[in-house]
Amino acid sequence: MLFHPWILEGLGILLLAVGAAGLGALFISRPMRSGIRRTVGAVCAVMALGGVLLMTRAEAMRDVDRDLSPAEQAVLAKAISRFPNIKFEVFTAHTDNETAALAAKVADAVKAATGVAPRRATIPPLKQKGVVPPLPQKGVVIVVHDREDDLGRAVSATIGRALMAARVACITDDEPALDDRTVRIVVGEKP
């Protein structure tokens, strides 16, 4: 949990800001002895450099392809198997190889859990609700008839958590036109 990219980036920004402010204050002030001044300068420079390195590491972690290991696929299949009477669909909302590979692994987990291959398709990206202008959804979107009913909450709590544990960004969304016994998993581009 401590090594999530957003935590590393936040810590990096904090270190960079404090280190840079310390270096700025060091050049403005004169009352310190030269030994202390050199020590404070070195500490501030190390803090600023550490902040830059943490932000670089966070960016590198974000650039890694999303993937499900066999163990993570098994956990996802176990989560999906808790819903034996539900029909699953796996859609791809972006055409790059990374998205297609993740969608294939999610579809394999659905097939392992239910014994039936899910319906697959490529669709246009879903649009974010409440955002003007509507932007394409990113990450994995679990679409249910009503995310506030018992099924919607149960799907979000089990399947969503399994995906998040595998470091795959996931949200739940409503689609009133969707059958109330169908769950659509839409794999979009990487956030």
Nearest CA-CA partner of 190 in 61, 78, 76, 98: 98
Task: Look up residue 125 and give its DSSP letter.
Answer: P
Task: Look up residue 136 and give its DSSP letter.
Answer: B
pTM, two decimals, is 0.69
Q: Other CB atoms closer than 10 Å to residue 5's CB: what's the count?
A: 18
Q: What is the pLDDT of residues 66-115, one digit of tens each?
A: 788 999 999 999 999 999 999 999 999 888 888 899 999 999 999 999 99
Q: Where are the domains of the chain?
A: 5-63, 70-187
Q: What is the pLDDT of residues 27-72, one digit of tens each?
A: 777 666 777 777 878 888 888 888 888 888 888 777 666 788 999 9
The residues that bridge with 119 in the sheet, in sequence order, are 89
Cβ within 8 Å of residue 167, ≥6 positions away: 66
Exposed/middle/buried for 115, CB within 10 Å: 0-12, 13-18, 19+? exposed
Question: What is the full DSSP assignment across 152-174?
Answer: HHHHIIIIIHHHHHTT--EEEEE
